[in-house]
Amino acid sequence: MHPSLRRTRNILDFALSSLLRRRGRNLSLLLVYTLVVAVLASLIFFVQALKREARLVLGQAPEMVVQRMVAGRHDPIPTAQAEAIRAIRGVREVTPRVWGYYYDPVYGGNLTVMGQEGGGLAADSVLIGQGVARSMRVKEGDMISLRGYTGLPMLFSIQKVLPAESELVSSDLVIMALPDIRTLFNLPEGQATDLMVRAGNPRELPTIAAKIVERFPDARPILKSEILRTYDAIFDWRGGLLVAVLASALLSFVIFAWDKATGLSAEERKEIGILKSIGWETSDVLLLKFWEGTVISLTAFLSGVLLAYGHVFFFSASLFEHALKGWSVLFPRYRLIPTVDAYQLGVLFFLTVLPYTAATLVPCWRAATVDPDAAMRS
């Protein structure tokens, strides 16, 4: 074996034995260190996984949605505008959509009600999501009651409960026939909630949106790319908000780690003096302390990342899922697809491992440069 490798191995063996001699202190530091890394890594994994799910879900979303704005509010749009928009060069298809939100006072949750034309959906029948079925404790074939615009209840038969695979987008969803949803929300014929626009060439969407606004000044075109950016911004903001809430705990850890790393005990100073007296160089002592700090920080980092991975992708981030998912009552049940952002994980590594490892070298360098006799008498 090369002499330098043998020297490094011997120093590493001595560093491990030194850590085991002070196992109580090092285990307490390792526990706190691991928990902090696990919380931060959980946030990173969860936010990135939610972003990925949002991109997958919105991959099937319409390329453009056109809404009508009245006094700064979303208002029903005349379906006659669909023909005028369809005549714009580059537009392939325009489909009116009828949907809305229904607040259920019994369960305290908002339902997303959508109208469907055809598709084998009978009158006075509905398709419901898994979250709706759980909240109302109903199943296929049961009846549910929704209060209409007039205040009178409307009874619907549950034709089907949507599969669990689609729960991320259908948990709070109720689908009914177009005549039923128009009666429920008192939306007359000739009006729609919005218009779904598809273009022959997606690169022409900004130009088409500009032409729509030019023809209909009260229209608001919303592109799918804008929705994706909004979702990314929302998840980043919510993740940052949780980090801000945990800032006091992170600051406490920084103070704790700095005190442990920079506060050499009398025993450690005596040990350094003994090592210097038997022929160790200052570089050997620094390498010893470097390996001690590296072992603790790397163990904490890897353990924290593994804990975070299990917490997010096997236990659905149960500690802070309600703060990041965004549903008020009807939380969907689904398992996130593992997604690891190497860049953010690298940033976490540099922010947690390198500062602690570097902090261990400063006091050791000071102790290693003093006279061995003075170090052993201190």
Q: Is 209 found in the same domain as 92?
A: yes
What pairing do the DSSP bridges indicate for beta strands 125-128 and 153-161?
Answer: parallel
pLDDT digits (tens, 9 = 90+) for 25-82: 778 888 888 988 888 888 888 878 777 777 776 667 788 999 999 988 889 999 999 9
Ramachandran class of 317: left when φ > 0, alpha when ψ lies in -120 to 50, beta otherwise: left
Confidence of residue 344 (pLDDT cuts 50, 70, 90): confident
Name 317's Cβ contacts closer than 8 Å, sequence gap at least 6. 42, 45, 46, 311, 324, 336
Q: Is 213 found in the same domain as 68?
A: yes
Q: Which of 223, 250, 278 is the last residue of a domain?
A: 223
Q: Is 45 found in the same domain as 68?
A: no
Q: DSSP letters of 35-68?
A: HHHHHHHHHHHHHHHHHHHHHHHHTTS-SEEEEE
What is the extent of the structural domain holding 278? 3-58+232-377
Cβ atoms < 10 Å from Cβ of 28: 12
Name 303's Cβ contacts closer than 8 Å, sequence gap at least 6. 30, 34, 37, 38
Q: Is 159 found in the same domain as 130?
A: yes
In the 8-state DSSP scheme, what is residue 319? T
In the 8-state DSSP scheme, what is residue 198? E
Q: Is 144 found in the same domain as 117?
A: yes
Q: Is 182 found in the same domain as 298?
A: no
**pTM reported for the whole predicted model:** 0.68
Q: How many structural domains comprise the chain? A: 2
Q: Is 156 found in the same domain as 83?
A: yes
Q: Which of 173, 198, 223 is the last residue of a domain?
A: 223
In the 8-state DSSP scheme, what is residue 1? -
What pairing do the DSSP bridges indicate for beta strands 64-70 and 73-75?
Answer: antiparallel
Q: Is 360 found in the same domain as 312?
A: yes
Q: Is 324 found in the same domain as 185?
A: no
Q: Is 110 found in the same domain as 10?
A: no
Report the C-alpha gap between 123 and 169 in whole angstroms: 24
Q: Is 363 found in the same domain as 313?
A: yes
**Is 143 in a helix, a strand, or coil?**
strand
Confidence at residue 65, expressed as pLDDT on a 0 to 100 scale: 93
- Which of 8-22, 143-157, 159-173 has the least mean pLDDT? 8-22
CATH of the domain at 97: 2.40.40.20
Burial code (b: 16+ CB inside 10 Å, e: under 16) for 277-309 equals eeebeeebbebbbbbbbbbbbeebbebbbebbb
Q: How many CA atoms lie within 13 A of 176 on its CB side?
A: 26
Q: Which of 202, 223, 244 is the last residue of a domain?
A: 223
Q: Is 340 found in the same domain as 320?
A: yes
pLDDT digits (tens, 9 = 90+) for 186-213: 999 999 999 999 998 889 999 999 999 9
Bridge partner list, 118? none
pLDDT of 355 over the 60 cut: yes
Question: In the predicted model, what is the mean pLDDT of residues 173-197?
Answer: 93
